Chain A
Amino acid sequence: GNSVTQMEGPVTLSEEAFLTINCTYTATGYPSLFWYVQYPGEGLQLLLKATKADDKGSNKGFEATYRKETTSFHLEKGSVQVSDSAVYFCALSKSGAGSYQLTFGKGTKLSVIP
């Protein structure tokens, strides 16, 4: 079945440091890939997405590239801020007809210190 594996956290970085959160997936067909962010006590917000191989999703300085050859969708940001402290979830959609379900990774908690 489909699965998503994220690097385990927590990840603690100093402000302006470079961020990478690794995400690899197992899926049949051609899934779409997503990164969601969850701030404390809130629901999930879509951060970025990519729907086919070699697509790059980007938003708010975050980027991730859909790499089919390595089945990866790593999240990167060049310079993190304290306000980026949150839990980040990688997810994929089932491909094919009726593809409404998302499979989530377990989440990676990021703490950015001044």
Chain B
Amino acid sequence: DGGITQSPKYLFRKEGQNVTLSCEQNLNHDAMYWYRQDPGQGLRLIYYSQIVNDFQKGDIAEGYSVSREKKESFPLTVTSAQKNPTAFYLCASSGTEYEQYFGPGTRLTVT
């Protein structure tokens, strides 16, 4: 079945450590996205990529980094510079239509 996978579902890290969240899609979509979700705040765009080897900052890119070396993969690194990294992270992709398809999410807890 085509879809988006994110791993792991739950992730725990100590403050000061970088952590990388995985996102893989087999939908043959060109565009991929990373969102952060906090209670009561909806979704906020962190980074997006329209094609391989290219990506753009979203609304809250500070403290995050991404790469897009393959069409299928768009990993997100949460760096130690991110002041409040505990959140639910969602990856999405889109093809020729504007709707985005989402993965199951990764809940990151930093203590």
Taking beta carbons and an 8 Å cutoff, which residues of A are in contact with B? Answer: 32, 34, 36, 41-46, 49, 51, 89, 93, 98-102, 104-107
Contact assessment for A46 and B99 in the assembled complex, using a CB-CB cutoff below 8 Å: yes
Most buried by B among A32, A99, A102, A104: A102
Residue contact A99 to B40, C-beta cutoff 8 Å = no
Residue of B31, B58, B98 with most chain A CB atoms under a 10 A cut-off: B98
Decide if B102 touches A102 in the complex (CB within 8 Å): no
Which residue in chain B gives the minimum CB-CB distance to A94? B98
A93-B98, A100-B50, A106-B41 given; 4 more Cβ-contact pairs under 8 Å: A43-B102, A44-B43, A46-B99, A99-B98
B-side contacts of A41, CB under 8 Å? 105
Task: Give Cα A104 to B102, complex, Å.
Answer: 14
How many B residues touch the partner, as a band?
Answer: 20 to 34
Docked pose: A49 CA to B41 CA in angstroms: 22
Main secondary structure of the interface of B (DSSP, over half): strand
Q: Tally A-B pairs: CB < 8 A.
A: 50
Question: When the two chains form their complex, are residues B90 and A44 in contact, meaning their CB atoms are under 8 A apart?
Answer: yes
Smallest CB separation, A70 vs chain B (Å)? 22
Interface contact A43-B99, CB-CB below 8 Å:
no
B48-82: which have CB < 8 Å to A?
48, 50, 58
Chain B residues whose CB sits within 8 angstroms of the CB of A49 once the complex forms: 99
Query: If the complex has contacts A43-B90, A45-B102, A49-B99, are A100 and B42 also in contact, measured as CB distance less than 8 A?
Result: no
Which listed residue (A43, A89, A102) contacts B103, Cβ 8 A? A43
Do A107 and B42 touch (CB < 8 A)? yes
